[in-house]
Amino acid sequence: MTAASDLPQVLVIDDEMGPRESLRMLLKPNYQVYTADCVEAGIKLLKEKHPDAVITDIRMPGASGIDGLRRIREIDPHVAVIMLTGFGALETAQEALRLGANDYINKPFDAREMREVIGRNVERTRLHRTGVNAAEEIKELNNRLLKELAQKERLASLGQASAEFVHDLGNPLTIVWGYVQLLAKKLEESEKDNGAKSQNAKELQIIEQNVRLCRELLTMWQSYGSVEATPHKPISVSALVREVVKGVTAMAAQNGVELKSNLCDDACTLLGDSTQMTRAIQNVIINAVQAVSEKKGTVTVSCVRKDFYVDVRVEDTGYGIAPAQMAKIFDPYFTTKQGKSGTGLGLYITKKVVEDHNGSIKVDSTPQVGTTFTIRLPLLNN
């Protein structure tokens, strides 16, 4: 059962007790409902409770719903506002839309229609707030990074670690940015697209996961060089691969790349560091997506369990790697992406992480056909 504190919040402002109580009873099972009998009381609750949607009557004695709408927008430009209008006051409702209302419903209202409108608008507000929170998280991370780099700049031994860290942040932040762009588009279309709700929730979850990964990478980098290494714990390789594939899906789609996966049901448990292993797998998959972007090709990710080890294979249909470059691809700062923001650290980091987990990585490539990377990791003895 959902706790009342976890329910979306709706504020109802109406001077008539009948409609006010009707809305409270109608919405009570799925929302935390606050009611006010005038604009002043409603504005006070708006500041205290920060609701996800406001329903306000247009015609009220004293300050009208239109006056209230102007004040609501001064306090919160993005909260969803639904206007209740009676007496066929269509012109007033249309004026409310011009002033920033999101929707209007005629009195007496239909219960089913009201639930749909409230649900759609609450979702709209929550999507926007989640996007804003993600952007603020990224801004905070950037500020922390700048401060840390300033403090560590004098330590030459941390030069390469700093470069690795900046590279690591690039992948999850690229994913975050892609989903933030999708979110912005869907917010514009949310009132038209009633089927977007569940998909939006998945995209927001991916944003949150990748912002969290940024935080974990930052924490790891801050402890670089400490005497005590992070102790390895049992982690599921197949689960990590599944999450990375889910996160890269939007990036692949935006680049016209078909991303396929064939992951075993077994957990494929090993002793390791989940943040380190995520960065290693993410590097290889994102490299593959970038490698096939021009050809609009395919990337296939598989996770296959053997008796004592697990193979993570990433196969692309890109242009392949020239034989002369094969011996250098794991060298630090070697890149084939000149002019495309490549740092030459992705595969170097991946190889180091895999070897720290007693594994191996190999590459097979045919020019003009494609490339396959295979990461082999020892499983935890049962």
pLDDT tens digits, one per residue of 344-378 = 677 888 998 999 999 999 999 999 899 999 999 99
Superfamily per CATH, domain 7-109: Response regulator (3.40.50.2300)
d(CA 262, CA 126): 34
pLDDT on residue 52: 92
* Pairing label, strands 233-236, 258-263: unpaired
Does CATH number 3.30.565.10 belong to domain 233-378?
yes
d(CA 210, CA 298): 23
H-only helix segments in 28-110: 39-49, 65-75, 90-98
Which two structure tokens, joined as six digits, stand for 360?
A: 């191996």
Given a cut of 70, the residues of the chain with pLDDT beneath it are 1-5, 87-91, 93, 149-170, 173-174, 177-178, 180-181, 184-185, 187-205, 208-230, 333-334, 336-344, 382
pLDDT on residue 227: 44
pLDDT on residue 89: 58
d(CA 128, CA 150): 33
pLDDT digits (tens, 9 = 90+) for 95-131: 777 778 888 888 888 889 889 989 988 888 888 888 8
| CA dist 280 → 332, 374, 382 (Å) | 14, 12, 25
pTM for the model stands at 0.52
pLDDT on residue 336: 67
